[in-house]
């Protein structure tokens, strides 16, 4: 089910990008290694997508409990992390990302490989 929702979300995002004229913009390929940079980018992505104040986000916040996300929100967040950091996150790994801190640590470990 997660796979079908990811495909649906990807199609939705692509349709939106094409209609906004942003589909030809290449993703950033510059590696991000600074912990503060990863954390701030992850916080910004979450704040924008979930419409919350970035200053209220803490690494200890859980997505389902503290932020009230559903499966679709989480899929959209994963897609945004993949785009921003130019990485691929396996479904099995995505299911283990329960807190904002989990996401930051996961991305940092992927970027240091």
> Residue 19: what pLDDT?
55
Answer yes or no: 70 catalytic: yes
CATH number for the domain spanning 43: value is 1.10.1200.10
Mean pLDDT to the nearest integer, 10-18: 56
> Residue 17: what pLDDT?
53
Q: Which of 36, 66, 70, 73 is catalytic?
A: 70
Structural domain boundaries enclosing 30: 2-111
Are 102 and 46 in contact by the 8 Å Cβ rule? The answer is no
- pLDDT band (50, 70, 90) for residue 22: very low
Could you give the count of Cα atoms lying within 13 Å of 19 in the half-sphere of its Cβ? 6
User: How many domains does one find in the chain?
Assistant: 1
Q: Name the pTM for this structure.
A: 0.71
pLDDT tens digit string along 36-69? 699 999 999 999 999 999 999 999 999 999 999 9
Are 87 and 81 in contact by the 8 Å Cβ rule? The answer is yes
């Amino acid at each position: 089910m997660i796979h079908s929702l990811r495909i649906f979300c990807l199609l939705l995002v692509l349709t939106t990008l094409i209609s906004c004229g942003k589909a030809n913009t290449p993703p950033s390929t510059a590696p991000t290694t600074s912990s503060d940079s990863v954390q701030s980018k992850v916080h910004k992505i979450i704040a924008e997508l979930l419409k919350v104040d970035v200053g209220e986000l803490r690494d200890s916040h859980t997505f389902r409990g503290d932020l009230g996300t559903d499966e679709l929100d989480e899929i959209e967040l994963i897609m945004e992390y993949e785009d921003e950091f130019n990485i691929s996150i396996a479904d099995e790994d995505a299911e283990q990302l329960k807190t904002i801190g989990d996401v930051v640590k996961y991305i940092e470990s992927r970027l240091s490989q």
